[in-house]
Structure 1
Amino acid sequence: MNLPITKIVEVLIDHQFLDGLKILHLSDLHINKNFKLSSINELLSICEDLEYDFVVITGDIIDCKVKYIKEKLHLLNNLSLLRPVYYISGNHDIFYGLEDLKKELSNFILMDNKSTSIDFKGKQINIVGISDRFAKFFNIRRDEKKASSFLKANTNSIFIAHQPKDYKIAVMNKTPLFLCGHTHGGQIFPFHFLVRLVQPFLNGLFYRKKTAIYVSRGLGTWGINFRYKADSEITILKLISKSVK
C-alpha cells in the first residue's frame, strides 16, 4: 500500500438530518500475498486518530484467494473495534471468493442488496448497498429493483456501490449521498483518460441534482504496485446541510 493522503472533504447535502455526520470512506485495498501486515497496522493507526461516526468500504478488499491472506484479514477486522464497518463487494472480491471473505471479516457488515438503519443524533439514517455489476457473471444476485425501491421510499439514506456507474440509481431516487470507488483515480497517468471512457467519474466529489457523489481513489493498487498523479487516500466525509451552510 502506498502512503495514503488523509483528506477531510466537506459535502453539501439537501437534508438537514445528515448535518454533522462524519463518514470514514475507504475503498480498493486490494490485499494480496505481497500486501504487508505493517501496511494494515499503519491504516489502523491512522484511523484510530481520526474522528468519524462509522466506516464505509466500497469494495475490492482482496486481490487473491482468501486462504493466502487470512492473517491480514484478521488484522483488518480490528478496524471494527473503533467504529462500525459497512462494506460492499467489488469485482475482485467476487472473483476471488466473496463467501470466504465474509467468513474472515466476521466483524464487518456486508451490505450487498441490503439496508440497515443507524441512529444519528436521535434520527434514523439508512445505509443501502448493492452487489457489484460483476456479480451477474458469477450467478450472484444483484437487486437493483430492491435498492431503488427502498431509496425511493426512504430519502434519509446513503447509497453505497463499488462502481461509479451506479450513481444513476441514487440520482433517480433523490438519495442525498452516493459513495463508490473502483477507478483508483486512474492509478497511473495517462490511464485516467481510459477510465473516463468507461466510467462517468474519475475521482473526487460531484453533484448531480439532489445527490452528492464521492468517488474514492482507494488505498491499494492493481496490476503493478505503482501510482502516478493518483495518490491513494483515506477520506473523512463531513456532511453539511445546505440550510446550515
Structure 2
Amino acid sequence: MILVFALVLALVLAILATAHWYVWRRLVRDTTAPGTGWRRAGTAVFIAGPLLAVGGLAGEQAGLPHALARIVAWPGYLWLALFLYLFLGAVAGEVVRPLLSLWLARRPEPVPAAPATPAREATPAGAAPPVENTSEPVPNKISRRTFVSRVAGGAAAAIAVGTVGAGTYSTLNGPTVKRITVPLAKLPRSAHGLRIAVVSDVHLGPVLGSGFCRRVVDTINATQPDLIAVVGDLIDGDVEDLAGSVEPLRGLRSRLGTYFVTGNHEYISGVEPWVAKVRELGMQPLRNTRIELPGFDLAGVDDVSGERDGGGGADFAAALGDRDRTRATVLLAHQPVAIHEAVEHGVDLQLSGHTHGGQLWPGNYIAELANPTNAGLERYGDTQLYVSRGAGAWGPPVRVGAPSDITVVELASRQA
C-alpha cells in the first residue's frame, strides 16, 4: 500500500512539474531574452509558486504553526488557482499562435519612403567626388516568433489574473442567498412555508477566518429562517487553532434551532473535538439520529468518509430505520452520494453540499462525474435531493463559474 501511494504521488508530482515547465516555457522563456531581469523574475515566480502551494496544502498537517500556515496559505493557494488558468491560457495559445503567425506573414511589408536627395555642391576641378554615407541605424527589432509569443503569453496572463482576481473578490465578499420552494407530499398544512437555511462547506481555516464567518452568520440571520442546517465541512484545522474563527457561529438565530452533520473535512481535522465544539457553540449535532419537529422528522447522518477514517461513518438504519413513514422526513447528509440510501429508506428530501459546484471552472465537469447531482434540485424516485454550492471555498479562496450560496429551502404542503 505504501509503495502504491509513493508511486501515485511520484506520478502526480511528475505531471505537475511537467505542466509548470510547459507554462514557464510559453510565458517566460519564449517571451524574454536570456539573462534579462524579466526572465529571472518570471523563473523565480515559477519556482516559488509551487513551493508555496505545497506549503499551503501541507500547512498544519506538516507541523507548521497556525500563524505561519496562514502566511504561506494565501500566496500558495492563490498560485494554484492562477496556475490553472495560466495553463489553460497557454494551451489555448497553441491555437492562437499559428493563426497570428499566419496573419503576420501575409501582411505586406511596409516600403520605406525614399530619402530626399540633397543638392550636390560643385566639386572643384581635379578633386575626388565626396563619398556618400549610405549606412542607416537599424532599430531594435524582435523576431516574429517572439512577438507572437508575447501576444499569446500576455493575453493568457492578463485573462488568468483577471479571472482569479474576480473569483477571489466574489468569494471573500460572502455568499449570496438563493431561495427555492420544495413541495413534500407528506408535509401537513401546519408546516407549509417552513424555511430551512442550508449552509455547507464554509471551510474556515488558514485563509477564511472570523471575518468571513461573521459575514456568513449575518447573511443567514438576515433570511430569518425557521431552522438552520449546517451540512458539513465547516472547518479545515484543529479546534485550538480555529476557536476564534468559529466564534461568530454562536450568533446564529432561528426559531427551531441550528443542526449540524459532519463532512469529510471534520474527519480530517478531528471529528470528536469538532462535534463537541459545535455543540458548545449552540448547534445540535445529528449523528446518525433524528428528531421530531412540528410537521416532519429531521434526520442526520455522519459523513460516509468516516467509514474509512475510523470514525464510524453513516448509519442510515440507525437514523431512519424505525421511523413513522407517514411523516415527511428531511435528511441532512454532507455528500450527495447518500441519495441512494435515502431513496431506499423513503426519505422525502435530502439536503447536501460537498461538491462546491466544481468551485473552479472547468472543475464542474469533474464534480458532475463524481456526484449524482453537482448543484441544485433533482428528483430520484420519490426522493428529492438539493445540493448547495457551499458558502466558502476549499484551498484557493476563489470561485469561477460556481458562485457561493446559502440556500433558503421553503417546504410546501400540497394540502395548503
**Fold in common (TM above 0.5):** yes
From 24, 32, 51, the equivalent of 2:224 is 51
Question: Which stretches in structure 1 are left out of the alignment for 5+ residues?
Answer: none
Corresponding letter in the other structure for 2:374 = L
Check if 1:33 corresponds to 2:220.
no
Asked if 1 retains the 8 angstrom alpha-carbon contact of 2:360 and 2:400, the reply is yes
Count the aligned residue pairs. Answer: 240
Asked if 2 retains the 8 angstrom alpha-carbon contact of 1:14 and 1:210, the reply is no
Question: What SS does the aligned partner of 2:216 have?
Answer: helix
Check if 1:76 corresponds to 2:249.
yes
Q: CA deviation at 1:82?
A: 6.7
Query: In the TM superposition, what whole-angstrom CA distance separates every residue of 1:163-192 from its partner, at most 9, and x where no partner exists?
Result: 000011222232221100000001011111
2:289 corresponds in structure 1 to: 114
Q: CA deviation at 1:5?
A: 1.4
Asked if 1 retains the 8 angstrom alpha-carbon contact of 2:228 and 2:254, the reply is no
1:129 corresponds in structure 2 to: 300
Check if 1:219 corresponds to 2:394.
no
Question: What SS does the aligned partner of 1:8 have?
Answer: strand
Asked if 2 retains the 8 angstrom alpha-carbon contact of 1:219 and 1:232, the reply is yes
- Residues 178 and 151 (structure 1 numbering): CA distance in 2 closer, same or farther, change over 3 Å? farther
Q: Whole-Å Cα distance in 1 between the matches of residues 309 and 240 of structure 2?
A: 20
Q: CA deviation at 1:152?
A: 6.8
Asked if 2 retains the 8 angstrom alpha-carbon contact of 1:88 and 1:131, the reply is yes
User: Sequence identity of aligned pairs in percent?
Assistant: 27
Q: Whole-Å Cα distance in 2 between the matches of residues 203 and 29 of structure 1?
A: 16
Q: CA deviation at 1:243?
A: 4.6
Q: CA deviation at 1:210?
A: 1.8
Check if 1:228 corresponds to 2:403.
no
Q: Whole-Å Cα distance in 2 between the matches of residues 152 and 16 of structure 1?
A: 13
Q: CA deviation at 1:212?
A: 1.8
Corresponding letter in the other structure for 1:136 = E
- Larger Cα Rg: Structure 1 or Structure 2? 2
Asked if 2 retains the 8 angstrom alpha-carbon contact of 1:155 and 1:176, the reply is no
From 349, 371, 381, the equivalent of 1:209 is 381
Q: Whole-Å Cα distance in 2 between the matches of residues 56 and 20 of structure 1?
A: 16
Q: Whole-Å Cα distance in 1 between the matches of residues 342 and 324 of structure 2?
A: 9
From 11, 24, 36, the equivalent of 2:197 is 24
Corresponding letter in the other structure for 1:13 = L
Query: In the TM superposition, what whole-angstrom CA distance separates every residue of 1:97-125 from its partner, at most 9, and x where no partner exists?
Result: 11111232211111121111222xxx4x2
Alignment of 1:70-109 (within 5 A): 70-80=243-253, 84-105=257-278, 106=280, 107-109=282-284
Q: Whole-Å Cα distance in 1 between the matches of residues 329 and 228 of structure 2?
A: 15
Asked if 2 retains the 8 angstrom alpha-carbon contact of 1:15 and 1:156, the reply is yes
Corresponding letter in the other structure for 1:111 = L
Q: Whole-Å Cα distance in 1 between the matches of residues 297 and 184 of structure 2?
A: 15
From 167, 175, 183, the equivalent of 1:12 is 183
Question: What SS does the aligned partner of 2:306 have?
Answer: helix
Question: What SS does the aligned partner of 1:16 have?
Answer: coil
Asked if 2 retains the 8 angstrom alpha-carbon contact of 1:118 and 1:126, the reply is yes
Q: CA deviation at 1:221?
A: 0.9
Question: What SS does the aligned partner of 2:223 have?
Answer: coil
- Residues 158 and 82 (structure 1 numbering): CA distance in 2 closer, same or farther, change over 3 Å? closer
When the two chains are superposed, the root-mean-square deviation of aligned CA atoms in Å is 1.9
- Residues 8 and 54 (structure 1 numbering): CA distance in 2 closer, same or farther, change over 3 Å? same
User: Mean Cα displacement is larger for which, 148-157 or 205-214?
Assistant: 148-157
Q: Whole-Å Cα distance in 2 between the matches of residues 99 and 154 of structure 1?
A: 34
Asked if 2 retains the 8 angstrom alpha-carbon contact of 1:164 and 1:215, the reply is yes
Between Structure 1 and Structure 2, the one with more strand by share is 1
Q: Whole-Å Cα distance in 1 between the matches of residues 324 and 343 of structure 2?
A: 10
Q: CA deviation at 1:228?
A: 0.6
Question: What SS does the aligned partner of 2:311 have?
Answer: coil
Asked if 2 retains the 8 angstrom alpha-carbon contact of 1:12 and 1:212, the reply is no
Question: Structure 2-normalised TM-score?
Answer: 0.55
Q: Using CA pairs below 8 Å that are at least 6 residues apart, which structure has the higher relative contact order?
A: 1
Asked if 2 retains the 8 angstrom alpha-carbon contact of 1:160 and 1:178, the reply is yes
Divergent runs of 4+, >3 A: 80-83, 150-155
From 235, 239, 252, the equivalent of 1:66 is 239
Question: What SS does the aligned partner of 1:137 have?
Answer: helix
Alignment of 1:139-154 (within 5 A): 139-141=310-312, 142-150=314-322, 153=325
Question: What SS does the aligned partner of 1:228 have?
Answer: coil
Q: CA deviation at 1:80?
A: 4.6
Asked if 1 retains the 8 angstrom alpha-carbon contact of 2:204 and 2:213, the reply is no
Q: Whole-Å Cα distance in 1 between the matches of residues 413 and 340 of structure 2?
A: 22
- Residues 173 and 131 (structure 1 numbering): CA distance in 2 closer, same or farther, change over 3 Å? same
Asked if 2 retains the 8 angstrom alpha-carbon contact of 1:93 and 1:101, the reply is yes
Between Structure 1 and Structure 2, the one with more helix by share is 2
Q: CA deviation at 1:11?
A: 1.2
Question: What SS does the aligned partner of 2:274 have?
Answer: helix
